[in-house]
Amino acid sequence: MEQNYDFKEIEKKWQKIWHKNRLFDVNEQSTKQKFYCLEMFPYPSGKIHIGHVRNYAIGDVIARYKRMKGFSVLHPMGWDAFGLPAENAAIKHGVHPAKWTYENIDYMKKQLMRLGLTYDWRREVTTCSPDYYKWNQWIFLKLYEKGLAYKKSSSVNWCPSCGTVLANEQVIDGACWRCETQVEQKELEQWFLKITEYADELLDYCDRLTSWPERVLTMQRNWIGKSEGVEVDFPIEGMNARLRIFTTRPDTIFGVTFMCIAPDHPLAETLCDDKEALKKIKLLQREPEIKEGIFTGKYALNPINGEKLPVWIANFVLMEYGTGAIMSVPAHDQRDFEFAIKYGLPIKTVIIPQNKKLSEPLTEAYEEDGIMINSGAFSGLPSKEGKKAVSDYIEEKRLGKKTVNYRLRDWGISRQRYWGTPIPVIYCDKCGIVPVPEEDLPVILPENVSLTGKGESPLKYVDEFYKVKCPRCGADARRETDTMDTFIDSSWYFVRYCSLKDEEAFHREKIKYWMPVDQYIGGIEHAVLHLLYARFFVKVLRDLGIVNFDEPFDRLLTQGMVCMESYRCPEHDWLFPKEVKDEKCIYCDKPVHKGRVEKMSKSKKNIVDPDEMIETYGTDTVRVFTLFAAPPEKDLEWSSQGVEGAHRFLKRVYAVVYKNYKWLCETMPVTKSVSDYIAYELLSLTHRTIKRVTLDIEKEYQFNTAIARLMEFINEVYSFEPENDQQRSVFKFAMKNFLILLSPFAPHIAEELWIAIGEKGFILNEPWPDYDEELAKEQMIELVVQVNGKVRSKIMISQGLSDEDIVKIALNDEKVKQWIDNKEILKVIPVKGKLVNIVVKS
């Protein structure tokens, strides 16, 4: 054994051995319970960043821990490999997206290998490979068959100078990213998936996801946005037309004073002669701060009381929601209120609070519940009951009907881009839309394209791709050139991992064994779209009979961000941390301005490079630091002192074993009847540590406190020198268990020292140790509390509590309270975990 902790040598060595022994390959084992641990797969952007490292380190600890707990653990990794950056790189640097992507994957895979992660690479998924995207196409065809994929016209960003469609990310401040021309909206026929068909189930099942963060569920629920109300028809005076509106507040129908329709409502053109004004208002559609309207000159009639209501066109009414028309109740809806004030329209109060007076004229809308007034036969009803009573009345008189609306829209999946899955559809002049026959899949994305970022899709110019024969009638036909949204790729990749690369994609038996994912880990930025689409796809696959479960992810952990201070020099702008010395810029020696701690970002240069960190400190240190610095779901502040601290800890672990390894590797652990006092203390410490680490991991994955326990343990044994056989054998037992506990966090050093203390086999194959409740009992000590220098209480507390906890206990003690009640506390001083001094004003 080397005297010094040569992490480079150790980490390289074990990665090689693990790999050679195929230690991380796993197959279905009917005798074991399964555990599927999954981290969101990365986009191969070129290099992994520290946020990835944190994500994968968290996943790896869970995977290793569960395996040692006796589960058969699936822990796969892959690449979300289609997408815009590859295309942009192609346009800028002339390198083909495929080349760019695969080179990035190669590089990043090497980086991942250096992290010592327990991935079964036989299952690697690369979404831009035809054997993967073939199944995107297959699922699309199934959706089409079931009427769940359809085409409709929808608007896209259009750069008139490049003659091309732009993705939202390519529109910068309303202009084209390449030529800075003002971007326009253009209507195109596009493909949609009917996710709305599953809106209700997606909403209801949120209640079953009891191990998801509440915040994510709230975001999902709001995104789906179910709202119950009624549709009511308002006849238009002097025309043979009706205005159908959607309202969630039928109880306010006597308070309607005008009507509003969306600028793109089908009646807008008919009702409004001023085409210029209409165009102007259309442009204001997505600016909720502004309220703009045009009076059409027409009136509608309130079907309940016959009142005459002016009809307006208003920018804040959206065509995509409800019916695209509303009844406006300015007294009880704030937007209507602002609109009414601006245009001098009447305001009529029909709901008043139960016990308060409403001071009129109103200064804002009264939107709460209350009692109905000025509402004919309904006056006097509480508004909640009124809602039901008015809707019943409306249905009874056939003026409208109760309906449910969702904010959720169907999923537009057409992208006018090259680097994506071709949509498997052919257009024939005779047969119309013809789906590609299943046996012709995959529709391969051609590689010989020229990418300029200008003009229509480059696929139009690839004859072998674009010009096809109609599969139905054999006539000349054209292939669809739109590709799929890349969110499709990530909506089912977790199912693909269940079988090996060369096995069938939907291996029902294997899917049945592994799915659903037991633990999913990723960033909060995916709280809505990715997770919702994946949930939708699983329900579709279930209804196709491919999977037999309802939800893809049983438990979800959204990890916090990695943050750091940023530095800015008055002359040299943002600086990397290494360009700052003693708070000064290394180029001009001027003092730097320290920015607040925020998410690492390239633009502010507050980033650390994982490669550099691993080079300097080793993977185990980087893993331990990222896991120790904060609980997984909280933001983590990167600090070089922290990394140093983690490194020092591992060096101490190494030193403890090195000092003793000669006898450690010969001593067999015995644990029965320990009579020696010191040996007993060490045995108890060991069981306590096992208990605490286990509970910390089990309880919400509190890895930070688990590692703190391991650090405490090492501090306790650091200068320990056994004096007799009992002490020696307990020490061996202690170190053996300590290394097992350490191994999920710092697997390389644990494996190295495992062998050094004479153990056999891989530490990953060891069972997680049990603890003895009796031996693991917390040791109690006496806490002395003084008030103004006099001992006022003695309390038994468990050893090892934090100062903060101790102070809390002291201040809450009944005896102490008698001496400090009603007095101003000037100071509270905890001393060595045994004494608390309280100073009060006397």
Between CA 693 and CA 706 the distance in angstroms is 5
Residue 154 or 227 having the CB closest to ligand ANZ: 227
Q: What is the dihedral of CA 63, 68, 73, 75, to 10 degrees?
A: 30
Candidates 51, 59, 76, 324; binder of ligand ANZ (CB under 6 A) is: 324
Q: Which stretch binds ligand ANZ (CB under 6 A): 187-195, 318-326, 541-549, 701-709?
A: 318-326
Query: Applying CB under 6 A, does 247 fall inside the site for ligand ANZ?
Result: yes
- Residues 132 to 161: which contact ligand ANZ by CB under 6 A? none
Q: Which stretch binds ligand ANZ (CB under 6 A): 327-335, 411-419, 652-660, 824-832?
A: 327-335
Stretch that binds ligand ANZ, among 143-151, 326-334, 663-671, 686-694 (CB under 6 A): 326-334
Nearer to ligand ANZ, 256 or 742 (CB): 256
State which of residues 67, 75, 114, 249 lies at the interface with ligand ANZ (CB under 6 A).
Answer: 249
DSSP for 573-625 reads EEE-GGGEETTEETTT-PBPEEPPPEE--TTTT----HHHHHHHH-HHHHHHH
Residue 33 interacts, among ligand ANZ, Zn ion, none and using kind-specific CB cut-offs from 5 to 8 Å, with none
Closer residue to Zn ion (CB): 159 or 828? 159
C-alpha to C-alpha distance for 181 and 174, rounded to whole angstroms: 9
Residue placing its CB nearer to ligand ANZ in the complex, 370 or 442: 370
Are the C-beta atoms of 522 and 559 separated by less than 8 Å? yes
CA atoms within 13 A on the CB side of 556: 25
Span 597-656, contacts to ligand ANZ by CB under 6 A: none
Minimum separation from the CB atom of position 585 to ligand ANZ (A): 52
Q: Are 632 and 560 in contact (CB under 8 A)?
A: yes
Partner from ligand ANZ, Zn ion, none binding residue 801, C-beta < 5-8 Å depending on class: none
d(CA 690, CA 371): 62
B/e letters for 236-263, b = 16+ CB within 10 Å, e = fewer, are: beeeebebebbbebbbbbbbbbbbbbbb
Position among 63, 326, 532, 806 found at the interface with ligand ANZ (CB under 6 A): 326
Query: Is the Cβ–Cβ distance between 795 and 771 less than 8 Å?
Result: no
Rounded to whole angstroms, the Cα distance separating 205 from 552 reads 11
Count of residues in contact with ligand ANZ, rule CB under 6 A: 18
Provide the 10 A C-beta neighbour count for residue 452.
12
Q: Closer to ligand ANZ at the Cβ: 256 or 563?
A: 256
Q: How far is the CB of 391 from ligand ANZ (least distance, A)?
A: 12
**Binds ligand ANZ (CB under 6 A): choice among 116, 263, 310, 322:** 322
Under a CB-based contact definition with an 8 Å cutoff, are residues 468 and 477 in contact? yes
Contact predicate 194/147, CB 8 Å: yes
- Which residue's beta carbon is nearest to the bound Zn ion? 176
Q: What residue 178 binds from Zn ion, ligand ANZ, none (CB within 5 to 8 A, per partner kind)?
A: Zn ion
Does residue 577 have a cis bond before it (omega within 30 degrees)? no
Look at residue 293 and give the partner it binds from Zn ion, ligand ANZ, none, a contact being a CB closer than 5 to 8 Å depending on partner kind.
Answer: none
Task: Calculate the alpha carbon distances from 492 to 527, 535, 547, 816 in Å.
Answer: 16, 9, 11, 61
In the list Zn ion, ligand ANZ, none, the entry touching 826 (Cβ below 5 to 8 angstroms by class) is: none
- Site residues for Zn ion per CB under 5 A: 159, 161-162, 176, 178-179, 181
Number of alpha carbons in the 13 Å side-chain half-sphere of residue 647: 19
Q: Check residue 818 for interaction with ligand ANZ (CB under 6 A).
A: no
CB-based contacts of 16, cutoff 8 Å, min separation 6? none
Stretch that binds ligand ANZ, among 246-254, 571-579, 674-682, 784-792 (CB under 6 A): 246-254
Cα separation, 332 vs 338, whole angstroms: 11
- The residue (of 17 and 404) whose beta carbon lies closer to ligand ANZ is 404
Phi, psi of 526 (to 5 degrees): -100, 15
Strand partners, 159: 164
Residue list 403-422, contact with ligand ANZ (CB under 6 A): 405
From candidates 272, 329, 613, 828, binder to ligand ANZ by CB under 6 A? 329
Contacts of 430 (CB under 8 A, 6+ apart): 470, 473, 475
Between 326 and 505, whose beta carbon lies closer to ligand ANZ?
Answer: 326
- Asked if residue 422 lies in contact with residue 382, where contact means CB atoms within 8 angstroms, the answer is no
Q: Is 799 helix (H, G, I), strand (E, B) or coil?
A: coil
**Chain residues 672-731 in contact with ligand ANZ, contact rule CB under 6 A:** none
CB of 264 to Zn ion, least distance (A): 26
Helices (H), 699-790: 703-717, 725-742, 747-756, 773-776
Provide the mask over 298-317, with x wherever binding to ligand ANZ is found by CB under 6 A and - wherever it is not. Answer: ------------------xx
- The least distance separating ligand ANZ from the CB of residue 291, rounded to whole angstroms, comes to 12
Q: Which is nearer to ligand ANZ, 190 or 247 (CB)?
A: 247
Residue 157: CB minimum distance to ligand ANZ, A: 23
- Rank residues 253 and 614 by Cβ distance to ligand ANZ and give the closer one: 253
Residue 269 CB, nearest approach to ligand ANZ (Å): 18
Decide whether 164 or 686 has the Cβ nearer to Zn ion. 164
Q: Least distance in Å: CB of 224 to ligand ANZ?
A: 12
Which does residue 302 touch among ligand ANZ, Zn ion, none (CB within 5 to 8 A, set by kind)? none
292 binds ligand ANZ (CB under 6 A): no
Residues 6+ apart with CB under 8 A from 32: 70, 71, 72
Signed CA dihedral, 493, 499, 503, 508: sign only: negative
268 binds ligand ANZ (CB under 6 A): no
333 touches which of ligand ANZ, Zn ion, none (CB within 5 to 8 A by kind)? ligand ANZ
In angstroms, rounded to a whole number, what is the distance separating the alpha carbons of residues 299 and 236? Answer: 6
* Contact pattern for ligand ANZ over residues 538 through 577, marking x by CB under 6 A: ----------------------------------------
Least distance to ligand ANZ from the beta carbon of 339, Å?
Answer: 11
Distance CA(519)–CA(74), nearest Å, equals 10
CB of 178 to Zn ion, least distance (A): 5
C-alpha separations of 609 from 68, 74, 578, 636 in Å: 31, 29, 11, 16
Shortest Å distance, C-beta 406 to Zn ion: 35
Nearer to ligand ANZ, 320 or 725 (CB): 320
- CB 331 to ligand ANZ: min, Å: 7
Please list every residue from 157 through 176 that binds ligand ANZ, using CB under 6 A.
none
User: Contact at 8 Å (CB) between 483 and 420?
Assistant: yes
Which of positions 226-245 make contact with ligand ANZ (CB under 6 A)? 227
Q: Is the peptide bond before 160 cis (omega within 30 degrees of 0)?
A: no
The nearer residue to Zn ion, 172 or 179, going by C-beta atoms, is 179
CA dihedral sign of residues 715, 62, 533, 135: positive
Nearer Cβ to Zn ion, position 179 or 825? 179
318 binds ligand ANZ (CB under 6 A): yes
The C-alpha atoms of residue 234 and residue 463 are separated, in whole angstroms, by: 54
- Give every CB contact of residue 801 below 8 A, 6+ residues apart in sequence: 809, 833
> For the chain, what is the total number of helices (H) and then of strands (E)?
25, 39
Residue from the set 4, 21, 27, 248 that interacts with ligand ANZ by CB under 6 A: 248
Distance (Å) of CA 67 to CA 55, 120, 354, 752: 19, 13, 61, 19
Q: Which residues bind ligand ANZ (CB under 6 A)?
A: 227, 246-249, 252, 316-318, 321-322, 324, 326-327, 329, 332-333, 405
